[in-house]
Amino acid sequence: MNDNNVCVNKGKGKVWLVGAGPGEVSLITLKGREVLADADVVVYDALVRGGMMSLMPEGAELIYVGKRAGNHTMKQEEINALLLEKALEGKKVVRLKGGDPFLFGRGGEELELLVQNGIDFEIVPGVTSAFAAPAYAGIPVTHRDFCRGVSVITGHRRSNGALDINFKALAETGNTLVFLMGMSTIDIIMNGLLSGGMDGDTPAAIVEKGTTSSQRVLITDLAHLEETAKTGHAEAPAVIVIGNTAGLAERLKWRDSLPLNGVRAVVTRPKELSSGLASMLRKKGAEVIEVPVIGIEPIYDSDRLKDAIRILAEGRYNWIVFTSPSGVRVFFDELMKTADVRALAGCRIAVIGKGTEAELAKRGLHSDMIPSKYDGRTLGAELSRLLRTGDRVLIPRASIGNKALNEELSKSGDVIIDDIATYDTVYHAAEWFDASKELADPKTFALFTSASGVRGFVSAYPDMDHSAVKAVCIGAMTAAEAEKYGMRVWISEEATLTSLADRLMQASKG
């Protein structure tokens, strides 16, 4: 192995051992995200949560090998063999493990068989829950006023049922003690430390599902650790912190001040459009799960669009109307194949809303008209007042575009409307997302930015009880579509992502 933790060979596939982090998707490292995006095969475990699934590359083979106490989808030896098998097929294989793969993650075991068979591998460390979960609970694992160091210990039993831990030595270190996988042995941990001489008044905390929207922090002391876990119905995965720094949790807790703390947001926008909304919600404290139930498929080599671009270049269009960011993106991709932005020189531009206007601005252009209310009917009604007899209007948009726009434009009299389909909206389900289970959670909301998004969701998950969905919607048309299926609906005041996030905050407060 060289200094970059890479074992080199030629002619075979390669395995990357990647730490996914503690649960919050944005805590995966930049290197981890980069490697994951290029994978042919992803082998992932039970601690890789739903939000992380949005990072899985399209077309990759996803293999779940999750292990919980007493419930192993695949034995460790089988996982090792699987990694070798896929690498020998010449694949780029990512073994994605919760936390850091070398901290009680059996990462070393999974590499040994690869070494024996001369397979390339690379190690991408991850943020461990041993430090991240306490940090999200306001507990520093070291503090010069309270401790000299930190010890990370596994609470997992050996095959003979024993915990091979020198509790007396641990108690004498004066360190903050962080136990992983210790919920099933919490009584042994507590009694062992007390017997080893640790004071029963020593502060302690249980951080359950750390860094996620389901995070709970139970504050106690060592003598009452087991009782607190039982009365609080604490569950794995959880991190147990014992030491004086645990007493700082109440003073240093910071997540409670975030407006969407404890909220899960299911973002249903197309994958290429979801990042801005997801980032905004995460900054406000929400756990975001990106489930793109609709996708965009450009209609290539359209004779109608080619003719329209020729007419546009000849200066014979008076207006071009964009009804979505996707419409802008697909149109300009086609425009640049046969012409350039100078074709727009004699044409005015209308957009349906700020998101579409922002996409247009990426091309160095500003709109001449944006409606007072961001929907097709208002756009058509207000644009029609600006049209003159004989004007020609180009509308490059989805093949299932809203008819209200054309109905309103037609009221302006003798105008020519070229409504050209430039892309299809397709519906698809994320097989890893259990919609019925996830959306039954009272703190989980689905966000919809279009009526087609609602239809896509219903098409993707037809068997669930859609009345259980708490839907936060942009615009009346989106809300009306959600109400057709009995969803409980909240409507943003404006058709903007900022307003949508604000409405989610209000909805989450009850």
Residues known to be catalytic:
45, 67
What is the rounded CA–CA span in Å between residue 209 and residue 337?
A: 50
Closest CA to 457 of 477, 480, 482, 440: 482
Closest CA to 448 of 423, 477, 428, 427: 477
With both helix axes pointing from N to C terminus, report the angle between 376-384 and 403-410 in degrees, rounded to the nearest 10. 20
What is the rounded CA–CA span in Å between residue 197 and residue 7?
A: 46
Q: How does DSSP assign 11-26, residue by residue? A: SS-EEEEEE-BSS-GG
Phi/psi at 234 (nearest 5 deg)?
-65, 140
What is the rounded CA–CA span in Å between residue 333 and residue 15?
A: 36
Question: Does residue 29 contact residue 134 with C-beta atoms inside 8 Å?
Answer: no
Residues 124-147 as b or e (16 or more Cβ within 10 Å = b)? bbbbbbbbbbbbbbbbbbeeeebb
The token duo for 250 is 């109440």
**H/E segment holding residue 61:** strand 61-64
